[in-house]
């Protein structure tokens, strides 16, 4: 933690960056995202096992619009999100300074995008055993039971869009749910509106999701909606050998193609 | 008792499958008339939400068809579509949406006979599966008389 | 009416719930499922979670549902037939186990729906709602009811308030005519008693500020940069508005299928980026800081002026549900001492 504070203080005092996005103490045992603009403020910066939030989402919010250069305290999920945003032309290397930290909490210093890509590759990715078990459990249900399971699970969704708001990849200025010509997704949070929202969101994240789990952490109802994206992450890897957040130059899986993609269902 | 006639919506690309369907007609090849064809410039333009909307609107089966790979009028539209369909089909399967009710095909402008065969066999399949009540119930349960 | 004091044994509470449910009333109480506690329909005491500090969502969905049909329409060959929702068909509902803050939340919500014109549908539901609250023995770091004119044993908004005075007995305060109606049909379950001092049985919630002080301060703070500073971590979701018992913003949507359709009313949140987007494309609250400011002003400045009610009951749900830990009590305290 001291290492991170040292780097942050130095970056600010040398005016190499104008804002550092990190963490400070929150309510009770929680931590909360914090935005440091003066070297002295950095005293409040903390970093511990509770710091799992994906801070990359703030890079596309209006608070960063007029800041010349932003530094960001980045665990491997944040690093991958930044790389993925870069591959989608949403952040520029000269505007973001990554302070890399491994999942164990070891600070690896300032990373440019190339180094960040290398760093992300060394960190554990892929599904946890319990997630994999959950996916298999659902997949093994007969089709109708699967459908009812998801309809019932999503019936408690209140359409607060906390999942969207806390996802770094959901940066669209006008989300599909906010268009009304046509009204793609019903606004109301009945079963139909809920399931369509989640189908749509999962598809829009296919090949772009890095499995940080923020969506489910943010959900006030604790709905396991991240499982849908996790399942697709595996599928995209198996079929297209593509993984999000590991290259700032390759296009996302669904924005690219090869002419030898194999499928077995098109007649 | 009248036999169940499934409502089929076909999302097709203008340059290949739509022209192919035209050829089916001019060749006087008969095929089931319970299909409604929706024309798109390219399969790359077909949004997967249109499929869910079709089911919600009362469709019992869907056909999606376009140019063969390497033959897309816009060069690569169908390549993007192919990837998208692979992912969408996997998601539908995982969520319990009946993927047997969505038929995908490549039908070129010269394949009038193939189009008829695709539609007829899809119709037979959908007849066996019956109306897609699960999805219809979902989208109409909020609407009262 | 003057409060009637009674005692109720916990075994009698079980009988009361079963009687209410059998008499055709829908009883909603906190139930823990899949790790979270929320209001659900019950017909016995078995599944009720009496230990939770408070539920994730408020009880407002009993009078202001997440989605509600307000009319349906059908196009025939001659005409368009419109049918309003039958407000006489709403069920009798009992909210059991609301906390004093939840009960107090119905009052600003009612004020919103009675501004200028009384909302027929909301009022029809409210008329059929009986609120049986249970005082708080515990509070956590998010509670701040005592700073907004509430307290853990407050009877405001409740028809009956139970306070647990021992392992087996509740002190019951029958507050309103609705509460009296329940007492009168179940007199065998209640015992007489003189008034009992609730304080030893209530949680302690330290008062950090007053709503009136916030209201005063806000008069000078509209242009302050405090809103930018406080709202930086807000992600702009609707979780706070949706779990709040006093938030009543809604959207009206039509959904149709062929010749038939319905009009819904559903929840909306002023925290969403496009909440104030005009058709011209102009958005008067395009920055999150403006939307955060609006939230505080609405609850502590505009509502007191327009509806003579503060729009916050100090339940702390917004802070618990917030993914970015925007602890509202902390922000309000900062405003009070600014």
One DSSP character per residue, C225-252 reads THHHHHHTT----SHHHHH-TT---EEE
Chains touching chain C, criterion 3+ CB pairs below 8 Å: A, B
* A118 belongs to a structural domain: yes
Task: Test A161 with C233 for CB contact under 8 angstroms.
Answer: no
Least CA distance to A265: which residue of chain B?
B104
Q: Which of C65, C38, C63 is nearest to C52 (CA)?
A: C38
First CA to last CA across chain B, in angstroms? 27
Task: Test B96 with A257 for CB contact under 8 angstroms.
Answer: no
Alpha-carbon distance of B113 to A220, in angstroms, equals 54
Tens digits of residue pLDDT in B106-145: 999 999 999 999 999 999 999 999 999 989 888 776 554 4
| Count: domains in chain A | 2
Cis peptide before C134 (omega within 30 of 0): no
Alpha-carbon distance of C75 to C259, in angstroms, equals 5
pLDDT at B145: 40
A253 secondary structure, DSSP code:
G
DSSP secondary structure, B99-118, as one string: GGGEEEEE--TT-HHHHHHH
* B145 belongs to a structural domain: no
Task: Test C262 with B144 for CB contact under 8 angstroms.
Answer: yes
Clarify whether residues A80 and A135 are in a common domain.
no
Clarify whether residues A65 and A111 are in a common domain.
yes
Domain hosting B60: range is 8-140
Clarify whether residues A133 and A236 are in a common domain.
yes
Contacts of C301 (CB under 8 A, 6+ apart): C215, C218, C219
* B118 belongs to a structural domain: yes
The sign of the torsion formed by the CA atoms of C187, C136, C17, C11 equals: negative
Phi, psi of A231 (to 5 degrees): -65, -40
Listed by start position, the domains of chain C span 4-337
Provide, rounded to the nearest whole percent, the portion of chain B with pLDDT above 90: 87
* B2 belongs to a structural domain: no
Clarify whether residues A24 and A105 are in a common domain.
yes
Domain limit, last residue, from A97, A122, A147 = A122
Q: Are strands C169-174 and C160-164 parallel, antiparallel or unpaired?
A: antiparallel
Q: B133 to chain A, minimum CA–CA distance in Å?
A: 11
Residue C181 touches partner A, C-beta closer than 8 Å: no
CB-CB neighbors (< 8 A) of A200 in chain B: 49
pLDDT at B143: 52
3-state SS, one letter per residue, for B53-70: HHHHCCCCEEEEEECCCC
Least CA distance to B136: which residue of chain C?
C257
Q: Give pLDDT tens digits along chain C (338 positions).
A: 899 999 999 999 999 999 999 999 999 999 999 889 999 999 999 999 999 999 999 999 999 999 999 999 999 999 999 999 999 999 999 999 999 999 999 999 999 999 889 999 999 999 999 999 999 999 999 999 999 999 999 999 999 999 999 989 999 999 999 999 999 999 999 999 999 999 999 999 999 999 999 999 999 999 999 999 999 999 999 999 999 999 999 999 988 888 888 999 999 999 998 899 998 989 999 999 999 999 999 999 999 999 999 999 999 999 999 999 999 999 999 999 87
- Give the CA distances from residue A35 to residues A24, A70, C48, C331, in Å, rounded to whole numbers and listed in that order: 9, 10, 42, 16
Tens digits of residue pLDDT in A114-146: 999 999 999 888 788 999 999 999 999 999 999
Residue B14 · residue B38 · CB < 8 Å:
no
pLDDT at C337: 87
Which residue in the block uniquely carries the two structure tokens 């296009």? A251
Outline where DSSP puts E strands in chain A.
19-25, 31-36, 70-74, 96-101, 107-111
pLDDT at B2: 65
pLDDT at A230: 94
Say which of A27, A183, A222 has its CB closest to residue C142: A27
Least CA distance to A216: which residue of chain C?
C323
**Residue of C323, C326, C327, C329 to mutate when probing chain A, most A C-beta within 10 A:** C323
Task: Test A187 with C233 for CB contact under 8 angstroms.
Answer: no
* A12 belongs to a structural domain: yes
First CA to last CA across chain A, in angstroms? 57
pLDDT at B141: 61
Residue A200 touches partner B, C-beta closer than 8 Å: yes
* A259 belongs to a structural domain: no
* B73 belongs to a structural domain: yes
pLDDT at C278: 92
pLDDT at A97: 95
Which residue in the block uniquely carries the two structure tokens 């002023």? C270
pLDDT at A30: 92
**Residue of B141, B143, B144, B145 to mutate when probing chain C, most C C-beta within 10 A:** B143
- Give the CA distances from residue C116 to residues A5, C24, C89, C112, C307, in Å, rounded to whole numbers and listed in that order: 55, 34, 25, 9, 10
Angle at A30 between CA C297 and CA A83, to 5 degrees: 90
CB-CB neighbors (< 8 A) of B53 in chain A: 184
Q: Please, which residues 48-87 of chain B have a Cβ atom closer than 8 Å to chain C? A: 57-58
User: Confidence band (pLDDT; 50, 70, 90) for B3?
Assistant: confident
* A143 belongs to a structural domain: yes
Tens digits of residue pLDDT in A178-209: 888 888 888 889 999 999 999 999 999 999 99
CB-CB neighbors (< 8 A) of B144 in chain C: 69, 72, 262
Chains touching chain B, criterion 3+ CB pairs below 8 Å: A, C
Q: Which two tokens stand for residue B109?
A: 């402008």
Task: List, in sequence order, every residue forming a beta bridge with B8; answer none if it has no partner.
Answer: B35, B61
**Residue of B87, B115, B143 to mutate when probing chain A, most A C-beta within 10 A:** B87
Q: Which of A207, A213, A1, A225 is nearest to A87 (CA)?
A: A207
Alpha-carbon distance of A203 to A192, in angstroms, equals 17
Say which of B79, B90, B104 has its CB closest to residue A267: B104
Alpha-carbon distance of A78 to A86, in angstroms, equals 12
Task: Test B95 with A253 for CB contact under 8 angstroms.
Answer: no
Q: Please, which residues 239-258 of chain A have a Cβ atom closer than 8 Å to chain B? A: 239-240, 253-258
Clarify whether residues A229 and A139 are in a common domain.
yes
Residue B140 touches partner C, C-beta closer than 8 Å: yes
Task: Test C69 with B139 for CB contact under 8 angstroms.
Answer: no
Say which of C74, C83, C262 has its CB closest to residue B142: C262
Q: Please, which residues 164-193 of chain A have a Cβ atom closer than 8 Å to chain B? A: 176, 184-185, 188, 190-192
The sign of the torsion formed by the CA atoms of A51, A53, A58, A61 equals: negative
* A266 belongs to a structural domain: no
Residue A196 · residue B51 · CB < 8 Å:
no
Q: C251 to chain B, minimum CA–CA distance in Å?
A: 17
Average pLDDT over residues A57-70: 92
Residue C237 touches partner A, C-beta closer than 8 Å: yes
Residues of chain A that touch chain C, judged by Cβ-Cβ distance less than 8 Å: 26-28, 30-35, 53, 57-58, 61-63, 156, 158-162, 164-166, 173-174, 178, 183, 186-190, 193, 214, 217-218, 220-222
Say which of A162, A165, A188 has its CB closest to residue C264: A188
- Domain holding B66: CATH number? 3.40.50
Domain limit, last residue, from A74, A104, A122 = A122
Alpha-carbon distance of A249 to A107, in angstroms, equals 25
DSSP secondary structure, C103-116, as one string: HHHHHHHHHHHTSS
* A264 belongs to a structural domain: no
Residue C57 touches partner A, C-beta closer than 8 Å: yes
CB-CB neighbors (< 8 A) of B36 in chain C: none
Contacts of B62 (CB under 8 A, 6+ apart): B8, B9, B10, B11, B51, B54, B55, B101, B102, B103
Q: C236 to chain A, minimum CA–CA distance in Å?
A: 6
Domain hosting A139: range is 129-242
CB-CB neighbors (< 8 A) of A144 in chain B: 96, 134
Residue C252 touches partner A, C-beta closer than 8 Å: no
Alpha-carbon distance of A90 to A170, in angstroms, equals 11
CB-CB neighbors (< 8 A) of C323 in chain A: 162, 165-166, 214, 217-218
First CA to last CA across chain C, in angstroms? 42
Say which of C67, C233, C269 has its CB closest to residue A190: C67
Domain limit, last residue, from A122, A137, A158 = A122
* A249 belongs to a structural domain: no
Q: Which of A208, A209, A223 is nearest to A155 (CA)?
A: A223
Task: List, in sequence order, every residue forming a beta bridge with C94; answer none if it has no partner.
Answer: C27, C130
């Amino acid at each position: 933690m001291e290492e991170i504070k040292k780097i942050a203080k130095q970056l600010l005092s040398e005016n190499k960056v104008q804002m550092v996005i990190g963490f400070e103490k929150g309510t009770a045992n929680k931590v909360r995202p914090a935005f440091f603009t003066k070297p002295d403020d950095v005293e409040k910066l903390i970093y511990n096992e509770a710091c799992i939030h994906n801070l990359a989402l703030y890079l596309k919010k209006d608070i960063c619009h007029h800041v010349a250069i932003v530094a960001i305290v980045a665990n491997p999920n944040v690093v991958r999100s930044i790389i993925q945003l870069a591959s989608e032309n949403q952040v520029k290397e000269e505007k973001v300074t990554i302070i890399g930290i491994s999942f164990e909490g070891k600070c690896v210093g300032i990373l440019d995008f190339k180094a960040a890509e290398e760093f992300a590759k060394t960190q554990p990715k892929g599904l946890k055993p319990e997630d994999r078990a959950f996916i298999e459990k659902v997949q093994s249900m007969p089709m109708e039971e699967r459908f009812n399971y998801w309809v019932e699970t999503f019936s408690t969704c209140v359409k607060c869009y906390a999942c969207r708001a806390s996802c770094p990849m959901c940066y669209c200025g006008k989300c599909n749910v906010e268009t009304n010509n046509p009204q793609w997704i019903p606004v109301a949070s009945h079963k139909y509106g809920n399931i369509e929202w989640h189908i749509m969101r999962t598809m829009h994240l296919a090949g772009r999701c890095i499995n940080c789990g923020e969506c489910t952490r943010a959900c006030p109802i604790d709905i396991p909606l991240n499982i849908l994206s996790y399942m697709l992450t595996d599928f995209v890897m198996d079929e297209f050998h593509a993984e999000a957040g590991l290259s700032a130059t390759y296009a996302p899986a669904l924005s690219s193609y090869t002419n030898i993609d194999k499928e077995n269902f098109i007649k | 008792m009248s036999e169940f006639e499934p409502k089929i919506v076909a999302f097709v690309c203008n340059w290949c499958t739509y022209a192919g369907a035209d050829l089916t007609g001019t060749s006087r090849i008969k095929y089931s008339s319970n299909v409604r064809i929706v024309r798109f410039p390219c399969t790359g333009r077909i949004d997967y939400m249109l499929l869910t909307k079709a089911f919600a609107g009362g469709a019992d089966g869907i056909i999606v068809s376009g140019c063969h790979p390497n033959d897309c009028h816009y060069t690569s539209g169908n390549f993007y579509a192919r990837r998208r369909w692979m992912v969408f089909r996997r998601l539908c399967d995982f969520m319990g949406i009946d993927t047997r009710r969505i038929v995908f095909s490549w039908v070129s402008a010269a394949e009038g006979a193939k189009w008829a065969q695709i539609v007829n066999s899809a119709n037979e399949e959908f007849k066996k599966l019956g109306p897609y009540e699960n999805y219809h119930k979902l989208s109409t349960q909020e609407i009262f008389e | 009416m003057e409060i009637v004091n009674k005692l109720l044994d916990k075994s009698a509470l079980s009988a009361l719930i079963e009687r209410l449910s059998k008499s055709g009333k829908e009883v909603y109480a906190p139930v823990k499922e899949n790790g979270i506690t929320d209001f659900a329909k019950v017909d016995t005491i078995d599944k009720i979670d009496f230990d939770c500090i408070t539920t994730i969502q408020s009880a407002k969905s009993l009078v202001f549902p997440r989605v509600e049909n307000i009319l349906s329409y059908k196009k025939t060959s001659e005409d368009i037939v419109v049918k309003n929702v039958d407000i006489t068909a709403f069920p009798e509902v009992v909210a059991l186990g609301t906390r004093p803050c939840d009960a107090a939340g119905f009052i600003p919500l009612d004020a919103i729906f009675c501004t200028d014109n009384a909302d027929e549908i909301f009022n029809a539901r409210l008329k059929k709602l009986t609120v049986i609250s249970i005082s708080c023995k515990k509070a956590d770091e998010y509670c701040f009811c005592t700073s907004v004119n509430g307290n853990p044993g407050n009877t405001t908004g409740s028809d009956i308030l139970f306070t647990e005075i021992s392992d087996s007995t509740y002190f019951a305060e029958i507050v309103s005519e609705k509460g009296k109606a329940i007492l009168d049909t179940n007199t065998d379950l209640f015992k007489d008693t003189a008034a009992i001092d609730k304080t030893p049985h209530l949680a302690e919630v330290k008062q950090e500020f007053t709503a009136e002080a916030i209201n005063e301060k806000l008069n000078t703070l509209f242009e302050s940069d405090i809103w930018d500073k406080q709202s930086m971590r807000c992600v702009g979701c609707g979780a706070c508005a949706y779990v709040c018992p006093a938030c009543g913003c809604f959207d009206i949507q039509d959904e149709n299928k062929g010749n038939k359709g319905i009009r819904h009313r559903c929840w909306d949140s002023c925290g969403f980026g496009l909440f104030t987007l005009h058709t011209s494309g102009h958005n008067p609250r395009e920055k999150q800081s403006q939307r955060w400011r609006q939230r505080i002003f609405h609850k502590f400045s505009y509502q007191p002026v327009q509806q003579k009610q503060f729009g916050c009951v100090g339940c702390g749900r917004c802070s618990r549900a917030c993914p970015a830990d925007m602890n509202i009590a902390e922000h309000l305290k900062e405003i009070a001492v600014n």
